[in-house]
Amino acid sequence: MFFERILSLGTVNQEFSSATKTRLMNTIALITTGVSMLYTLMYVFVLDQSTVALINLSFTLAYCCTLGLNALHSTKASKVWFFSVLMVHLMVCTNVYVTNATGFHLYFFLVPTGAFLLFELKDKLEKISLSLVSVVLFLYCENTMNEAPLIELTESIEAMIYQSVFLVNMIEVIVVLTIFANQLERNQTKLTRQATKDSLTQTSNRHEFFEKGESLLLQSQQRQEAFSLVLLDFDYFKSINDQYGHAAGDTCLIMVSKIIQAELNSKQILARIGGEEFAIILPSMAQASAVNLAERIRCKIEQHAIPIIGESHFNCTVSLGVTCKSNAQDTLKTLLVHADNALYLAKNNGRNRVETFAQINA
């Protein structure tokens, strides 16, 4: 469960924010304190090594201080402290307790990955300094043989410890890479959303309208299918804002976009292309069906009560202009002009109605 939560850090569901980093630092410090304490007890009761136990107890207490610093909101200091204690501890383990044949110094690899994971993006100096120190200390431990270790180990135990250290390092690298990959994917999804969706209504924005619209129009031309476009504009929206406030205007935009969306299938696209103007792309739909759909949307909007805080509700209406691709030369821009002309006609003819471009030309 804990492992699963760690591996899902940085995904859409579990944001890897500064607060999460602090929580993770606390968890790591707590686990390290616990493990270090267990080793201390083992040195006393199993190996009968009181000197080693005493040294180890001081490291256990030092790890514990990380939690204290975090509690005092010195999050950066707590991380620097934790990694510094860890590095000194590793050096003492490798060069005082036992020898480098145990591979204890391989734990120095935990420092750069851990530091890059837990520090903030801006803490470059801390991340680089800790990484460099860990490399130097690793090389020192690798090239120094402790001739008189406090704990004598057999070769087979040394080999076992070496393998376990390697395993822990591998697990840490996998976890950290997974979190970074999650974070990357999450940011990518967020950026794509920001670039293509309208932040208020979550419908397509102008950019996505043109991108998807042009590709769907091309497809309909290749397949020789119909293609309709509807332009929708609120009636007297300025008065709604003036009378009920801008927030009520925003609620109105959101609710109406939901009403329209409910009438569309997954291939039809609703886009907010202006302040209170929406466009609906209807691939494979001929004019008659598009007019029917536009009329249905108009009725649903007219009947829908928009709630207002402190008051009961208000109703709004929209005008719609419909156009349909008539020849192979039609581009999305020309269709937009045609739909706009039809919309203008709907406004001129009294609003809260649907008009078509074909009527203007008739």
Please list the active-site residues. Answer: 276
CB 268 to ligand GTP: min, Å = 23
246 binds ligand GTP (CB under 6 A): yes
Kindly give the residue spans of alpha helices, DSSP state H, lying in 197-305: 206-222, 237-244, 246-263, 287-303
> Would you put residue 252 in left (φ > 0), alpha (ψ -120 to 50) or beta?
alpha
Q: Which is nearer to ligand GTP, 35 or 200 (CB)?
A: 200
Residue 52 to residue 102: CA distance in whole angstroms: 16
Reduced DSSP (H G I as helix, E B as strand, rest coil) percent helix, strand, coil of the chain, to 5: 65, 10, 25
Binding residue (CB under 6 A) for ligand GTP from 34, 68, 275, 307: 275
β-bridge mates for residue 270, sequence order: 280
Per CB under 6 A, the list member of 103, 149, 249, 321 interacting with ligand GTP is 249
The token duo for 232 is 């929708």
If phi over 0 gives left and psi between -120 and 50 gives alpha, with beta otherwise, what is residue 36?
Answer: alpha
Q: Which is nearer to ligand GTP, 90 or 232 (CB)?
A: 232
Please select the residue that binds ligand GTP; options are 116, 140, 180, 237, rule is CB under 6 A. 237
**CA–CA dist 218, 225 (Å, integer):** 10
| Interface with ligand GTP, residue 321, by CB under 6 A | no
Contact between 117 and 133 (Cβ < 8 Å): no
CB nearer ligand GTP, residue 15 or residue 250: 250
Of 234, 244, 278, 357, the one binding ligand GTP by CB under 6 A = 234
Binding mask 329-358 for ligand GTP (x = CB under 6 A): ------------------x---x-------
Tell me whether residue 109 or residue 278 sits nearer to ligand GTP (CB atom): 278
**Amino acid at site 358:** A
Binding mask 200-229 for ligand GTP (x = CB under 6 A): x-----------------------------
